[in-house]
Amino acid sequence: MKELLINGALKLNISLDGEKADMFMTYMDMLAETNKSLNLTAITEPQEIITKHFLDSLTASKFIPEGASVIDVGCGAGFPGLPLKIAREDISLTLLDSLNKRLAFINSVIYATGISGATCVHSRAEDGGQDKAHREKYDVALSRAVANMAVLCEYCLPYVKVGGMFLALKGPAASEELKSAENAIKTLGGELSEIAELSVPYTDLLHKIVVVKKVKPCPKQYPRKAGIPSKKPL
């Protein structure tokens, strides 16, 4: 499994030494064990955890600048943020989620692997986006499989500094979602930069990463109160 991970990462131009590979293996073992009592993932086979969680998360690395401050919004069991942090010691990472049990799991992984420069925040995405401690404080906001693009923009763009970017890890339907998200992107101070199609090593998965640049400040009224973005997308 370790060899699969290292070789897969190399296909993404990421070099993992033995220590980092061991950190991933610890993460995988802890995910499988904790998942027996807490529903963290439907993906439980070791090979699929490596390809569909770890390598899939690492596809975003090429878009993240050196030394960037990164927030993973709605991080769940830590994807994509934690794999990126293990591979990229240069970034600082904030992992935000609304469920304390998931964050407790992530904190246990951080402790067991010795990851430094990663912090967990317990909050709804909408509440965190209005918090002065986090609003427009990050170079990069990331999210994977949380909501459709219009809703996701309201969850994530308020965290991004002007000049920074929002990366949405999406499936094949990304282009369709973007059609209904054009107004949200513009309203929230964003501008579509690119839609990159990437293959996940050792799978037949073709995923898309939507790159949205933050070109102006987000209006103060956004994000709206918790629950409203998903009920009434921009």
> Domains, the chain, ranges and CATH?
2-231 (3.40.50.150)
Q: What pLDDT is recorded for position 176?
A: 86
Over residues 8-58, the pLDDT tens digits come to 999 999 999 999 999 999 999 999 999 999 999 999 899 999 999 999 999
CB 52 within 8 A of CB 77: no
- At residue 172, the pLDDT reads 83
Q: Structure pTM?
A: 0.96
The Cα–Cα gap between 27 and 80 comes to 13
Q: Count the Cβ atoms, other than its own, within 10 Å of residue 51.
A: 20
Average pLDDT value over all residues in the chain: 95
Overall residue count recorded for the chain in this entry = 234
Closest to 3 in 3D by CA, of 56, 58, 47:
47
C-alpha 66/C-alpha 56 separation (Å) is 20
Which tens digit of pLDDT belongs to each residue from 119-163?
999 999 999 999 999 999 999 999 997 789 999 999 999 999 999
Is pLDDT at 7 greater than 80 in this prediction?
Answer: yes
